[in-house]
Structure formats: C-alpha cells, structure tokens
Amino acid sequence: MIVDKSEIQKSDKNLLEEHQYEFNFIANKLQQKGHDIVARLAKLSEFQVAIPSWALGAGRTRFGRFAHGGEPATLEQKLDDVGLIHALTQSEGAIFLHIPWDVPQDYAAIKERASSLDLVFDAVNSNTFQDQSNAQESYRYGSLANTNAASREQAVQHNLDVIDIGEKLGSKSLTVWLADGSNFPGQTNFQSALLHTEDSLKKIYGAMPQNWSLFIEYKPYEPNFYSTVIQDWGTSYMLANACGDRAYTLVDLGHHLPNTNIEQIVATLMLKGKLGGFHFNDSKYGDDDLTVGAIKPYALFLIFNELVQGMQNNPQNPYPAWMIDASHNIKDPLEDLMQSLEAIQEAYAKALLVDQTALLAAQSAQDVVACQEILQSAFRTDVRSLVQRSRWQCGGALHPIKSYRDMEVRKNLIKERGATAVATGL
Ligand code: PSV
Ligand code: MN
C-alpha cells in the first residue's frame, strides 16, 4: 500500500484550523521569549530516527505471540511498512536490519525500493545470540567471549559477513549487542571472558571499512541472569577505546537497572566523544521495550536535554545515530512506532526550549530552585503543535495515527498480505 498525499490532506482537513490556532499561540509566546521558531522547526524537521526491521510485526513474550495480521513477511514488505510510516511522519526515513533475519536476495532491487520510499539503511546488526540452523558451532555458552575458539571465530566471521551485507546496502555502521554472560556463579571466568570479547571486537573493528563506525551496546542482564560480559556503559566505553576512534558506545534506554541516571551517562559519553548510537524505548522494570515516553516522559526529556547540550557543545562527539528499539505484543506495531516517534520529538522539542544560558548562570549561582524552574518550564510547555508543524511543512500528516486509521492501513495490509502473515525476527 502506498500513501497518497491527497489522502493525508483529506485526513488533515478538519484539524487544520485548530492546528493553526494552537501553533500561532505557542509560536508567538516562544518568540516573545526570544526563541527562533524557524530554527527550532528546522531542527525538528531534520531529525530522522531509524526503524528496526524487527519491530514491524507483533513482538512476543515467552508466553505467547498475538499477531496483528498483514505483517510484513519479506524484507521488501518491511521496507514498505517503514515507507508507509515515513510518508505520514516524514521523520522515520531509515531502517536498520538484523542479520540473518533480513538478508537481502537482490541488492539492487532492495536499494531501489528503499530509495523509492525515501529510505536509507542505517546500522546493520549482527546476531550471535541465536544459533542458526546451518551453524557449525553453538553460541549456547557465548559468542565473542566463548571459551571455545571455534565459536569465537564463527562469531567474528558472522560480523564480517554482516559488514559485507551492510556495505552493499550503503550502511556505514555495525551494531554489536552480545548476549554473552553466565547464569550461575563460577560458570565463567570474568577476566578471560572480557579479554576474549576485546580481542574479538578488535578483529571486527580492524576489518571494518575506514568510513564505518562500530557501536557497542551494553545491557545488564537477559538472556543471562547472573553476569553479562558487556553489562554497562563503562565496559562498553572501555572496549570502544580499546578498538579505536571509530568505535563508540550505544545507549539503549531499556538496558539499565531501575533508576539509573541515564542522562548523566549521556553527558559523560558525549564529553568523551564516545556516544555513537541510541536505542529508544521505555520500561517500567527491565528491558521492557515499551513505547517510548509511555512510562517516563520526564526522564526522556532530561536525557534529551543532555543530548541537545552535547550536540551544541561537544564537537568531539559525532551526531548520534537515532533508532527505535521497541517491540511488543499488544498494539499495532506501526501505530506504536508512530507513538514512539511523537514522544521522541516532543522530548526533543522541549529540550530545545531549555534556556541553556540561564541554566548555566543558575548553576553557577548555586540557585537550585531556579535550575529546576528553568528545566521544568521547558518540560511543561505544550510543544505538540510545533512538532505537528515541523512534520506538516515537510509533507507529513498533522496527526499520523489519525491518517493511518482514516486510510484503514491495517485493513488494507491484511487484504494484501493475509491475516496470517507473520514478520520474521524475534
Ligand atoms: C537486545 O535486547 C537489543 O536491545 C539489541 O539491540 C538487539 O539487537 C535488539 O534488542 C533486538 O533483539
Ligand atoms: Mn537495543
């Protein structure tokens, strides 16, 4: 299904007057406070977040999976789905693939399809957390950290194969997330597991093309429940440093123990020029992969406040690769991705409104109350019409989920692909 611009306009029609009113109100107010609205809107319009190929079907828990019907069964259809939400949002113009879930058959055709949908390929992700049916060696006891050299070599080779695939698609980065760890005390030797991981990552890094970056993702637990080799940002940072300049830490919001101060991690990594990528999601307890902003929107805003400061003040840090890494069982995945995007854009828009000069002055004056007032005044601003305008001026929908429903997208996808089509991946 292709989204027709005239359908977007039709669905927007009844919203336009209200939008105009709300936008004028907030734009005037902010302009009076000295904000350059055109510049803020440009920043919001530029912001593109990549969609993971594994989030387009229903996610699963170990207790079951509830399919939505019309799920994309092929890579081509996954591209189409991302193209669909990108047409509505104008901000989801990239896809990131997990190999071997999404190995392209015909590269030229896939690239052509992506560009016809205005999409690019973001990072490619290796998968050494599952055994493949044709694999010689098992990852049951780890991959890059395995005590068995043959398993490590197979895992390194897999990463090199993923880089080859990514190169053919125009990707410029590899994300490595390792499940390696242990379930029971004594099962693993922490030091040799770390040394094996470092050695394996260096081999992968050394084989990457010169213009590629390596993103090293960390996670405290799951699927291992006693120890994880790359458990935290410090371990990832240490490994990235050991690899070289083009190796970075990747922060996944769900990969922190409860109440971790993620914004401080962001600030530290950006100061060191080592924040490479970002996986957005939200969580209540662990790596819940819930819709971004569904649980802790204020924490998300504080994280964006550090990201904005870092992007303004830390030229040593590259522009981070933004990705949504959420997936679950209940909502229509495409609607869910649009909700996630909205929460991200709102947090970003609010962070752009923080008066950084006043905040610095209040910090220097040790005026704790003023510091909080400055942050919360930005957080409490209703920026929804700014986000709407940034999307609308690029040809997107004022209210993407409403347009999606008006166009009966899911119904059409079920008609095209069938009620039992199931997405590959998790
Ligand atoms: C692991 O929990 C993770 O966050 C990594 O990014 C994986 O690649 C992704 O989820 C999908 O399994
Ligand atoms: Mn992730």
| CA nearest neighbour of 91 among 354, 400, 362 | 400
Pocket test for ligand 1, best of 97, 130, 178, 325 (most atoms within 8 A of CB): 325
Q: Is the CB of 279 under 6 A from ligand 1?
A: yes
Strand partners for 251: 278
Q: What is the mean pLDDT of the chain?
A: 96
Q: Give the tokens for residue 91.
A: 């901000």
222-239, pLDDT tens digit by residue?
A: 999 999 999 999 999 999
Can you give 179-215 as a three-state secondary structure string?
CCEECCCCCCCHHHHHHHHHHHHHHHHHHCCCCCEEE
pLDDT at 425 > cutoff 70: no
- Annotate 38-75 with b (16+ C-beta within 10 A) or e (fewer): eebbebbbebbbbbbbbbbbbbeeeeeeeebbbbbbeb
59-90, pLDDT tens digit by residue?
A: 777 788 888 899 999 999 999 999 999 999 99
Q: What is the pLDDT of residue 76?
A: 96
Protein residue closest via CA to atom 3 of ligand 1: 177
Q: Give the tokens for residue 108.
A: 């030229």
Pocket test for ligand 1, best of 53, 236, 252 (most atoms within 8 A of CB): 252
Protein residue closest via CA to atom 6 of ligand 1: 177
| CA nearest neighbour of 239 among 200, 190, 272 | 200
Q: Is the CB of 177 under 6 A from ligand 1?
A: yes
97-155, pLDDT tens digit by residue?
A: 999 999 999 999 999 999 999 999 999 999 999 999 999 999 999 999 999 999 999 99
Q: Give the tokens for residue 339.
A: 């909700």
231-281, pLDDT tens digit by residue?
A: 999 999 999 999 999 999 999 999 999 999 999 999 999 999 999 999 999
Q: What is the pLDDT of residue 314?
A: 98
Give counts: helices (H), strands (E), the chain. Answer: 16, 12
When comparing pLDDT for 1 and 325, which is higher? 325
Neighbours of 214 (CB within 10 A): 25
Mean pLDDT, residues 353-378 taken together: 98
Q: Is the CB of 287 under 6 A from ligand 1?
A: yes
Q: Is the CB of 325 under 6 A from ligand 1?
A: yes
pTM: 0.97
Pocket test for ligand 1, best of 129, 217, 322 (most atoms within 8 A of CB): 217
Distance 177 CA to ligand 1 centre (A): 7
- The Cβ-side half-sphere exposure at 400, using a 13 Å CA radius, reads 29
Position 426 confidence tier, pLDDT thresholds 50, 70, 90: low
Q: Give the tokens for residue 87.
A: 């047409």
